[in-house]
Amino acid sequence: TSITSAKIQVNGVHLHYQQTGEGSHAVLLLPGMLGSGQTDFGPQLQSMNKQLFTVVAWDPRGYGKSIPPSRDFPPDFFERDAKDAVDLMQALKFKKFSLLGWSDGGITALIAAARYPSLIHKLVVWGANASVTQEDVRIYNGIRDVSKWSEKVKKPLEELYGHKYFAETCEAWVDGISRFAENSDGNICQQLLPDIKCPTFIIHGEKDPLVPQAHAEYIHKHIKGSRLLLMPEGKHNLHLRFAKDFNREVENFLR
């Protein structure tokens, strides 16, 4: 089946999304920093089982084709994304759905699952963290300057945004997420984890250079009954690099 693209008005902004499949189980894919459905979830949109699932990938406000508005990072930007994501799925008439969140999208998915328990069927997160440590801030500052990024990672984002928006938004993200380190315990959403009642699957790449494994272990420990899978060769983008294995694991969990 084909992948359709459209925009829908949610909370005063026009959110762009892609949709494919006709299964009864609706799944929302939540991208990472600067990400969009197009840049972050190609292998999932193409290859997830379209008989079992209806797959939606969204561009959060200020990202991808959900511009305008320009992206900003107020203290509640994850909470705002979580509300936008859930309201988008309701606007699309999905009564209950599962969340697959990568990186920042994983944080957004954790918050959404805790805040809207009656709407969330199952939850999968990878490359996510519930707090920001001083070590994390050091890692974030290491990616602040996009001119130092690898060509492979940089190119699709430069094509999507143009260099100026891409570079400035990355810097603003580093400042925005680093601010959480000033909270007690560097808290983003630690207190919400025990409120997550749906079946939860946490995947972590053991070679992830951006998110230390302790974050995945913390989330696993604080979501009752959750499952943790460590991928020895996985890096931050394990769902792209090992798409076949990732899709298989996730589909088995969602069934």
- Residues designated as active site: 103, 208, 236
Nearest by Cα to 111 from 130, 87, 92, 133 = 130
- CB count within 10 Å of CB 30 equals 29
- Non-local (6+) Cβ contacts of 86 within 8 A are 112, 115, 116, 119
Residue type at position 28? L
Q: Beta strand pairing status for 4-10 and 13-20?
A: antiparallel
- Non-local (6+) Cβ contacts of 56 within 8 A are 17, 18, 19, 26, 27, 28, 29, 88, 89, 92, 94, 97
Structure token pair of residue 107: 């944080």
